[in-house]
Amino acid sequence: MTPAARKPDNQLSITTYNIHKGFSQFNRRMMVHELRDRLRQLDSDIVFLQEVQGLHLNHAVKHSNWPDSPQHEFLAQDVWHATAYGQNMVYDHGHHGNAILSRFPILTSHNQDVTHLQFERRGLLHCQTTLPSGDPLHCVCVHLSLFGRSRTRQMSALADYLDAIAPDGTPLIIAGDFNDWRNRADLILTERLNLTEVFGGVSGRPARSFPAAIPLFRLDRIYVRGFSVERAEVHMGAPWSQLSDHAALSAHLTRHAD
């Protein structure tokens, strides 16, 4: 019996992580195998990943242990049986983007292009699944722009998109790398979509998540609707800081009774 099957139907654990294309900070070492081990130890039901390498021909030649499959498939193997990948940045030797790994079936998947600056391709990966309780769940994995004006446009586009497909009250999780050190996301996401950030609540502050060794900046977030937050964790310092430049964030949730 899987860990997910042992949980009460109204409980859910999630993780978000910018995996830096499977390399340590400053690209010193390829860490995708160690990364897979760590993610499995967290034992989350749904994992939101950013900077996932779908293909890189040069790395495949240079590193003898480079996975044969795309990183999201390699990381999910035998644990998360449903995956989705949103290709955003494309170059001559490969591409990368966002991914969602799920223990629950993914019913639909859509990568919404929200690029504002052509040199900085961005997408919002939206998946719909069903919880063991039978409730529908919308999941969105984001990696927003480095520039404030672009982030505002992207969050507004996200709110417009979800207003149309996930009416207020529908269970919803938005997680990822917001690059939002000024904490402007709350003005759009909490007010327009009735979301709560798992670390700070509606009026609090998100967790520090970058750089992973000693986090100073509040870049990564988990927003939820239709759940209460039982516990939230920042996975920082060694050994996490050897895997990526970002810390991983996890949350343990309980579905609200209707």
For residue 58, the model assigns a pLDDT of 64
Instruction: Look up the CATH number of domain 12-255.
Output: 3.60.10.10
Does residue 76 register a pLDDT over 90?
yes
Q: Which residue has the higher pLDDT, 233 or 186?
A: 233
Question: In this predicted model, what pLDDT tens digit does every residue of 103-147 receive, in sequence order?
Answer: 999 999 999 888 877 767 888 999 999 998 888 999 999 999 888
pLDDT interval class at 31 (50, 70, 90): confident
* DSSP secondary structure letter of residue 23: B
CA distance 123 to 115: 7
For residue 137, the model assigns a pLDDT of 96
Q: Taking a C-beta distance cutoff of 8 angstroms, is the pair 197, 190 a contact?
A: yes
Enumerate residues 6+ apart whose C-beta is below 8 A from 9.
131, 132, 133, 255
For residue 108, the model assigns a pLDDT of 95
Does residue 202 register a pLDDT over 80?
no
* DSSP secondary structure letter of residue 206: P
For residue 2, report the phi and psi dihedrals to the nearest 5 degrees.
Answer: -75, 160
Q: Identify the three-state secondary structure at position 70.
A: coil
Q: Which residue has the higher pLDDT, 75 or 54?
A: 75
Place of tokens 């995708």: 32
Neighbour-count burial of 58, counting CB atoms closer than 10 A to its CB (0-12 exposed, 13-18 middle, 19+ buried): exposed
Which whole number is the average pLDDT over 180-202?
83
For residue 73, the model assigns a pLDDT of 93
Question: In this predicted model, what pLDDT tens digit does every residue of 77-89 receive, in sequence order?
Answer: 999 999 999 987 6
Q: Considering the chain, what is the average pLDDT of its residues?
A: 87
Does residue 204 register a pLDDT over 90?
no
CA distance 251 to 91: 34
